[in-house]
Chain A
C-alpha cells in the first residue's frame, strides 16, 4: 500500500504540472482500481459490469476535472477514495438503490484491481458531445480528440488560445454534468 500511494501520488503531481504521459498512466492505473472497486460493490446488489464501467468513467472524468481540488500536501489515496465513494453513493441515489445493501464505508479495497481491457460503458461520447454548446464541442473535438495543439485549435475555431483552454475545461465539466443528468431520467 505505501508504495502504491507513493507511485500514484507522484503520477498525480506530475500530471498537475502538465505531464501528459504521467496523467495518462495515472488514469490507466486508476481505471483498473476503480473497476475492481465498483464491480465488487455493484455485484452485491446484482448489478452488471456495464454499470460498473459507467461509474469508472464518471470517476475518471471527476478525477480529471476536479484535479485542482487535490492538495499535494495531503496523501493521494484518501482523495481518490472520497471521489470513488461519492460517485458510488450518488449513482445509487439516482438509480434508487438501497444504500443499506452496499457496504460503502469499507475503505481499503479502492485498491482492488480489475484489468478488463477494452471495457465499455453505456455512454455514447459523440451523442453526449453533440449536446454541448458548439464552442465547447469544437474545442474538445480539436484539442482532445483530434490532438491538435491549443494554438492550432485556436486558429481553426477562430478563438483565442485562452478561450480554447477555457472551453475544453468547461466542456469536460459540462460533459460530467450531462452524464449525471441523464442518469436521473
Chain B
C-alpha cells in the first residue's frame, strides 16, 4: 500500500471529531462500575442496618471520604493517562494522597489509645470478609474501566492499568463501606488501603496485556 493512498483514504470525507469522548467514556465507566459495585454489595452482603447510630454516622462518612477521594483523583488522572503522552504531564503519585492522610490519622488514633485495644482496632471483626469482598466486587468495575480505556490510546500501559485497578478498588471499597461494621480508622487504613493497593497491583500487571492498541 502506498502511503499517499492511505493518506488520500483517511482524508476523504472527514467528520468532525468528538473531543469530549475520552472524559465522557471514562466518567460513564466509573458510574456504571459504581452502580455494579453498589448492586453487588446490596444483593450479596446487604447494607449495615445501624445506619442511624452515632458510630455509623461518624465512620461511614470517613470511609467514603477516603474511598471517594481516591476515586475522584484516580478518575481525573485516568482521563489524562488515557491519551498518548499523558503520563508525562500527570503527577500520578498524587492519587495516593487520601491513603497517606488516612494512614496518618490512623497512626495518631493508635497512638492515642492504650495498646491493649490495638488488636481490636486493627484486625476488627470482619477483616477476612473485607479482604475478600473488595477485590471481588472490584472485578466488574475493573472490566468496565478497561473497556473504556481501550477506546482511548494510553501509552504508559503499566501506569494506566494500575490506576484503572485503583479506581476499581476505590469504587468497590466505597460500596463495601455501606456494609462494613468495623468502625475504626486503623482498620480502614489497613484493610481498605491494602485491598485497594492489591487492585492497583493487579491492574499494573494486567495493563500491558489488556490495553495494547
Chain A interface residues toward B at CB < 8 A: 15-21, 23-24, 27-28, 31, 35, 53, 56-57, 60-62, 64, 66-72, 74, 78-79, 81-83, 85-86, 90, 117-121, 123-125, 140, 143-145, 147, 149-150, 165, 168, 172, 176-177, 180
Contacts and interface: CB of A to CB of B under 8 A. Distances in A.
B16 interface: yes
Closest 8 CB pairs of A and B: A82-B85, A24-B11, A82-B84, A18-B16, A20-B14, A66-B153, A69-B83, A125-B1
Contacts of A74: 89
B82 A69 contact: yes
B17 A79 contact: no
A15 B3 contact: no
A60 B3 contact: yes
B13 A143 contact: yes
20 contacts: A16-B19, A20-B14, A21-B11, A31-B7, A60-B3, A66-B213, A68-B19, A71-B22, A72-B19, A74-B89, A79-B84, A79-B85, A83-B153, A119-B2, A125-B5, A140-B9, A144-B10, A144-B12, A150-B15, A177-B213
A177 B212 CA distance: 10
Contact of B84 (A23, A83, A140): A83
B17 A68 contact: yes
B153 A27 contact: no
Contact of A31 (B3, B19, B212): B3
B1 A147 contact: no
B27 interface: no
Contacts of A168: 13
A166 to B, nearest CB: 11
B88 A78 contact: yes
A81 B85 contact: yes
Nearest to B153: A66
Nearest to A165: B15
A71 B83 contact: yes
Contacts of B7: 24, 27-28, 31, 60
Nearest to B6: A57
A140 B1 CA distance: 16
Contacts of A172: 10
Contact of A124 (B1, B15, B83, B212): B1
Nearest to B84: A82
Given A24-B11, A68-B21, A78-B89, 4 more contacts: A21-B11, A69-B82, A90-B212, A120-B1
A93 B82 CA distance: 21
B83 A79 contact: yes
A74 B21 CA distance: 16
Interface in B70-93: 82-86, 88-89
Contacts of B152: 66, 68-69
A123 B60 CA distance: 58
Contacts of A21: 11
A86 B2 contact: no
Contact of A71 (B13, B19, B212): B19
Nearest to A27: B7
B3 A68 contact: no
Nearest to A64: B10
A172 B89 CA distance: 29
Contacts of A66: 84, 152-153, 213
Nearest to A26: B11
A161 B96 CA distance: 46
B119 interface: no
B13 A149 contact: yes
Nearest to A18: B16
B9 A144 contact: yes
Contact of B12 (A17, A20, A53, A83): A20
